[in-house]
Amino acid sequence: LHTLVLSGNALGPAGLGAGLGGPLPALRLLDLSGNGLEALPAALGGAGPSEEEGAEPAAFPQLRSLNLSGNRLRELGPGLARAAPQLQELLLSGNRLRALPGALLPPADAAPFPLLSRLEAADNEVEELSADIAALPALKSLDVANNRLSALPAALADCPRLKDANLRGNPLRDRRLEKMVNGCQTRAVLEYLRSKGRAEGGREETRRRKREKPHKKDGGDGECDEAEAVGKLLLKVLHVGDNAMPMVVRASPGVRDVRPYIVCCVLRGVQLQPGNALRRFLSAQTKLHEDICEKRTAATIATHDLQLVKGPLTYSVQPPAELKVTPLGRKEIRAKDLLRQLQMEAEEQRKQKKRQNVSGLHRYLQLLDGKDNYPCLVDAEGVVISFPPITNSEKTKVLCATGKLFIRVHVF
């Protein structure tokens, strides 16, 4: 038997039991994906007699490819390295792993997967990629996308054969590294990690030397004041996974034909009370609409008082005759009636000013021409809090007392 595929059988937490107990000396490919396994079978190094080092010979001495993706595994024991010493491909995507390599590697006196060239662990819960990853001498391809990594070890650059590393979708604290991960080749990312590791090593040595020298009082207060001033200018970005109560926005398929993309963020610690801060804030938003957003034809920016937003939110579409909204400074009205009212106001403006151009919301009416459905953002109470690109709702209006903002950008 060279190939054994048992994928998608919903074996569940109990797994294979003793069904994989005997050794399969000729097996080269084993697929156990999509079975809901919570632990490895004993023959693969899970709990059982074979987990004791030296108890039995390798159960899969010729195994080259092992697919464990789409299960519920939280960890892998070092017994796997003993059970399949010739493993070249290990697929672990879609599990619940917390660390890599974690306990996957055997003790230091044993050879840790000398032939493993491909390791996939995307869409897990990995929070730590340890420096032990460099102990895989043959690793060429690494995929840890969409995990919870906040940092990458400099030792990743010490993997001698690593050519392809997919590190996207992780909340990395290093902004520059995050940009490189999303836009640069693996070689550039590894070189950055290598140089950063050298720099951190140098800084640690400098700090050690300073600790050994007597502290100088002169100039110390100035340095502290400067560090404090810089700290006030830093913007801390929290990813959804870092927030205990994230604002969730669900998008319905119908928005694809209207305004398919939406980006949201929460801004805390806002001060709009001093002077004319609110007016300047709204003026800056208007300028962005005119310039970068190309008069709302490319994108629309919307701001809400976060305290008045009841989540979770739904970004969807509704027919003009059914969509009801309470526009800023107006009473509740159906979307089709609002547009008709705005069109009449626009005509009145043209007559009074004797020119074709109009101002305010009237400039954006043509953006909805020919649309069978209009986009809207609905809160948990079923209230429409935004009707892009026309208006927000009076319910979540930003005022001088607003301290937390919910900001959205709708893009074509």
Do both 197 and 252 map to the same domain?
no
Beta bridge partners of 301: 409
Query: Is the alpha carbon torsion for 390, 393, 398, 403 positive or negative?
Result: negative
The answer to whether residue 26 sits within a structural domain is yes
Residue 374 belongs to a domain with what CATH number? 3.50.40.10
Residue 216: pLDDT over 50 = no
Residue 19: pLDDT over 60 = no
Average pLDDT rounded to a whole number, residues 391-412: 90
Q: What's the pLDDT at 311?
A: 85
**CA–CA–CA angle 57, 59, 60 (5° rounding):** 125
Average pLDDT rounded to a whole number, residues 385-399: 90
Percentage of residues in the chain with pLDDT exceeding 70?
79
Q: Which of the listed residues 169, 201, 233 is the one where a domain comes to its end? A: 201
C-alpha closest to that of 397 among 341, 332, 329, 342:
329
Do both 309 and 167 map to the same domain?
no
H or E element at residue 177: helix 175-183
Do both 300 and 175 map to the same domain?
no
Q: What's the pLDDT at 53?
A: 45
Backbone angles phi, psi at 165, to 5 degrees: -130, 115
Taking only the tens place, the pLDDT of each residue in 145-155 is 999 999 999 99
Q: Is residue 50 very low, low, confident or very high in pLDDT (cuts 50, 70, 90)?
A: very low
Q: Token digits for 42? A: 């004993």
Taking only the tens place, the pLDDT of each residue in 149-174 is 999 999 999 999 999 999 999 999 99
Q: What's the pLDDT at 56?
A: 62
Do both 145 and 262 map to the same domain?
no
Residue 29: pLDDT over 90 = yes
Do both 67 and 181 map to the same domain?
yes
Cβ neighbour number for residue 256 with a 10 Å cutoff: 11
Cβ neighbour number for residue 310 with a 10 Å cutoff: 14
The answer to whether residue 182 sits within a structural domain is yes
Chain CA centroid to CA 191, Å? 24
Do both 187 and 278 map to the same domain?
no
Do both 253 and 142 map to the same domain?
no
Q: Token digits for 52? A: 């004791």
| Mean pLDDT of all residues belonging to the chain | 82
Do both 189 and 93 map to the same domain?
yes
Q: Which of the listed residues 136, 166, 201 is the one where a domain comes to its end? A: 201
The answer to whether residue 323 sits within a structural domain is yes
Number of domains in the chain: 2
As a whole number of angstroms, the distance between CA 92 and CA 166 comes to 14
The answer to whether residue 223 sits within a structural domain is no
Do both 137 and 265 map to the same domain?
no
The answer to whether residue 213 sits within a structural domain is no
Give DSSP secondary structure letters for 90-154.
EE-TTS---EESGGGS--TTS---TT--EEE--SS---EE-GGGGG-TT--EEE--SS--S---G
Residue 114 belongs to a domain with what CATH number? 3.80.10.10
Indicate the pTM of the whole model: 0.50
Do both 197 and 296 map to the same domain?
no
Q: What's the pLDDT at 156?
A: 93
Average pLDDT rounded to a whole number, residues 359-384: 81
pLDDT greater at residue 158 or residue 9 = 158
The answer to whether residue 241 sits within a structural domain is no
Q: Which of the listed residues 168, 186, 201 is the one where a domain comes to its end? A: 201
Structural domain boundaries, residue 367? 248-411
The answer to whether residue 208 sits within a structural domain is no
Taking only the tens place, the pLDDT of each residue in 101-130 is 877 776 555 557 889 999 999 999 999 998
Do both 301 and 395 map to the same domain?
yes
Backbone angles phi, psi at 379, to 5 degrees: -85, -175
Do both 255 and 194 map to the same domain?
no
DSSP state of 66: E
Q: Is residue 54 very low, low, confident or very high in pLDDT (cuts 50, 70, 90)?
A: very low
The answer to whether residue 100 sits within a structural domain is yes
